[in-house]
Each structure stands twice: as C-alpha cells, then as structure tokens.
C-alpha cells in the first residue's frame, strides 16, 4: 500500500490518524482538504508523530502547522527522515 522506506512510514502513520487512504496524504493536504483534519485530530497527529519519531513540537508549531508539507518540513528540520 504505502511505499517502503522512511517517507512511506510517515504517510502510513498520518493516514492512520486521519483514517484515510495513504494516497490522500500529499504535501498539499490540510484541514481544508481532509475532512478528518479537525482540531482534535490535529493534536492526535502531533502526539502520534512525537511518539513515533521521538521528537517534540513547540506550542507554536502545533498551532501553526496547516499542511502535510509543513509538518514534513518541520520534522525534517528536527532531523526526522520523513
């Protein structure tokens, strides 16, 4: 289903939180395009990624991240291979 490798794992985790098909997890996807991306799910996404990748988001990051691409960029800046 998902591509092998680190990026595939990221897509799998995100798809699991939103209960969507991994093909819907594209960089442009955000609260406006994914119906499941509610504020509560957003937090669940943050804590799930924190647990899966052993990193931590700041309050501002949690507040401001509005798309898969942005989440990816911030995680890459923290050293995660996503």
Partner 1 sequence: MDDGNVLERIRRVRAAGAAPDPDLRDALGRVTGNAELAAAGRLLEGVPPGLITPPDRPLRPMRVGVTGTFTAESVVPMLRVLLLRGGIAPHFQLAGFDQLMVQLADPGSVLARFDPDLTLCLLHDGAVLPQSWDPAAPQALRQVLADRLGALRGALAGFTARIPGTVLLHTVPLSPAEHRAVIAHRSKAALGRVWREFNLGLLELPELLPSVQVLDLEALLVDHPGPVRDDRLYRFASMAWTPAVERHYAQEATTVARAVAGLGRKVLVLDLDNTLWGGVLGDDGPDGLEIGGGYPGNCYTELQRVALTLRQQGVLLALCSKNDPAAVEEVFARHPDLVLRPDDVVARAVNWGRKDHNLRELSRTLDLRLDSFVFADDSRFECALIRRELPDVEVLHLAGDPAGHVATLLARGHFDVLAVGDTDRERTQLYRARARRADVAASFESAADYLRDLDLRVTIRPADSATLLRVVQLERRTNQFNLAGGTRPEARTRAMAASANHLVLAFTVADRFGDEGVVGGVWVALAADGWEMENFVMSCRVFGRGIEHAVLSAVVNQAGRAGAPRLSARWRPSGRNDPVREFLDSAGFTRTEDPDGGVRYDLPLPAPASLLPDWITLEDPTAPEDEGVPAHA
CA distance 1 to 61: 30
- Asked if 44 interacts with partner 1 (CB under 8 A), we say yes
- Asked if 21 interacts with partner 1 (CB under 8 A), we say no
Class of residue 79 by CB neighbours under 10 A (exposed 0-12, middle 13-18, buried 19+) = exposed
For residue 71, the tally of other CB atoms under 10 A from its CB is 23
- Asked if 4 interacts with partner 1 (CB under 8 A), we say no
- Asked if 16 interacts with partner 1 (CB under 8 A), we say yes
Residues in the interface with partner 1 (CB under 8 A) total 18
Cβ nearer to partner 1, comparing 28 with 51: 51
Stretch that binds partner 1, among 24-32, 59-67, 71-79 (CB under 8 A): 59-67
For residue 59, the tally of other CB atoms under 10 A from its CB is 7
Instruction: Report the nearest approach of partner 1 to the CB of residue 42 (Å).
Output: 9
How many residues are present in the chain?
82
């Amino acid at each position: 289903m998902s591509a092998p490798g680190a990026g595939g794992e990221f897509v799998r985790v995100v798809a699991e939180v939103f209960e969507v098909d991994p093909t819907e997890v594209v960089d442009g996807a955000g609260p406006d395009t994914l119906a499941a991306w509610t504020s509560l799910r957003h937090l669940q996404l943050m804590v799930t990624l924190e647990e899966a990748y052993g990193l931590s988001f700041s309050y501002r990051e949690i507040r401001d991240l509005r798309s898969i691409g942005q989440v990816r960029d911030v995680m890459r800046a923290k050293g995660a291979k996503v």
